[in-house]
């Protein structure tokens, strides 16, 4: 049962022990709790954990370039490896200017600017930033992808994922990219930045497995502002493949409401299981490279069907593995009836992140409440 889910799969130079990946997730947890969460997901059988938003350049936040940051990432990879999974570093280059973030810090601290409001304010600055970047600065950033990849490998990461949203996605987007040079205008020119980022990693690490987070923007109805239009995929996908990509992680483009890219069960459009898999269908038509699907994947029966049919080769989950880190083990052992299925409520995961409480699951809240009630009953008796 669930033979495809639990079968090994090779991407580039690495072999995953099964087809399930933990999607990059901003946890917002204290270090020890974060490591404990990663360890539990790895022990639960997940083949690979993608660590999101690893900075491409030196950063005021923890990055691979500082000793403290490097040691933190090494500790993360060691935790993942010790618990039986592979680790991927999602190389991330922000398309928000740090100077703008500093400007909004007082409002964030006082609570006058909410996280969703900050997101809108920063997204409104993206177009001017991307369009105004100098060739010199672009070259520095491209070289940074190669340097960061080398450091990531030294820190113990097995796979490099290029974050195809954020700066790569903004360069790709006709909404944000208004450049008139070789990086703007036609889809081929708008693909240049992302392709050069991939090529920089490939030059620095010829044998490393490179996954590309392919952010798809759609119209009718409109969702996402960065990323690649569906009708532009026939231009972008072959160019990225030629640049050195080994696989594609396909999802909805960002730069809109987080409840679109992390859709609740009540979402007006992306409410069903496998809500982004239609994008995978188009990518599958354009390449023979492995395609990883994502988007409210919860049911073992559904996931097995998508994998077995060849619609996707890998399945990425975030909220479901936060809800039940042993999802993979339970499918392998025939204990599916014991699965705790993500309900898509977004209360303690996305809600916890937005409230700066960290990402948890409503299941944790229920268990804590039940333990408290049990303790109260014992005290009363």
Considering the entire predicted model, what is its pTM?
Answer: 0.92
Q: Which residues pair with 250 in a beta bridge?
A: 214
Q: Tokens for 137, please give them.
A: 């600065």
pLDDT band at 258 (very low <50, low <70, confident <90, very high): confident
Is the separation of the CB atoms in 70 and 155 below 8 Å?
Answer: yes
> Taking the domain 9-336, which CATH number applies?
3.20.20.70
* Catalytically active residues, by annotation: 166
What pLDDT is recorded for position 377? 47
Residues 178-230 have pLDDT tens digits of 999 999 999 999 999 999 999 999 999 999 999 999 999 999 999 989 999 99
Element (H, E) at 120: helix 115-123
The more confidently predicted of residues 353 and 285 is 285
- Residue 101 is predicted with a pLDDT of 66
Most confident region among 45-49, 110-114, 253-257 by mean pLDDT: 45-49
pLDDT tens per residue across span 123-181: 778 889 999 999 999 999 999 999 999 999 999 999 999 999 989 999 999 999 999 99
Residue in the block written with tokens 């398309």: 95
Domain boundaries, the chain: 9-336
Question: What is the rounded CA–CA span in Å between residue 229 and residue 342?
Answer: 30
């Amino acid at each position: 049962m669930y033979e495809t889910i639990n079968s090994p799969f090779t991407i580039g130079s690495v072999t995953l022990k099964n087809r399930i990946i933990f999607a990059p997730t901003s946890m917002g947890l204290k270090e020890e709790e974060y490591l404990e969460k990663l360890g539990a997901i790895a022990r639960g059988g997940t083949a690979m954990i993608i660590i999101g938003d690893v900075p491409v350049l030196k950063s005021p936040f923890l990055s691979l370039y500082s000793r403290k940051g490097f040691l933190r990432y090494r500790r993360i990879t060691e935790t993942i490896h010790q618990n039986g999974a592979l680790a991927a570093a999602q190389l991330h280059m922000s398309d928000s200017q740090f100077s703008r973030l500093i400007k909004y810090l007082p409002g964030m601290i006082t609570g006058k600017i909410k996280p969703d409001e900050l997101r809108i304010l920063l997204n409104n600055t993206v177009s001017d930033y991307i369009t105004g970047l100098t060739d010199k600065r672009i070259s520095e950033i491209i070289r940074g992808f190669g340097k960061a990849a080398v450091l990531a490998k030294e820190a113990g990461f097995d796979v490099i994922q290029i974050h195809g949203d954020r700066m790569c996605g903004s360069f790709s987007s006709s909404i944000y990219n208004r450049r008139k040079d070789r990086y703007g205008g036609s889809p081929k020119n708008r693909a240049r930045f992302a392709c050069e980022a991939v090529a920089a990693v490939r030059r620095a690490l010829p044998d490393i497995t490179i996954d590309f987070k392919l952010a798809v923007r759609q119209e009718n109805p409109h969702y996402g502002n960065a990323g690649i239009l569906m009708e532009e995929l026939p231009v972008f996908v072959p160019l990225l493949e030629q640049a050195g990509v080994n696989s594609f992680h396909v999802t909805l483009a960002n730069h809109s409401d987080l409840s679109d890219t992390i859709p609740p069960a009540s979402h007006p459009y992306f409410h069903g299981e496998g809500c982004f898999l239609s994008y995978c269908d188009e990518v599958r038509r354009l390449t023979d490279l492995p395609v990883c699907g994502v988007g409210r994947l919860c049911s073992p029966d559904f996931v097995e069907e998508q994998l077995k049919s060849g619609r996707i080769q890998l399945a990425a989950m975030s909220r479901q593995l936060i809800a039940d880190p042993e999802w993979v083990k339970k499918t392998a052992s025939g204990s599916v009836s014991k699965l705790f299925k993500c309900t898509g409520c977004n209360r303690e995961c996305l809600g916890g992140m937005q409230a700066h409480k960290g990402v948890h699951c409503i299941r944790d809240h229920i268990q804590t409440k039940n333990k408290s009630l049990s303790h109260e009953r014992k005290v009363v008796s």
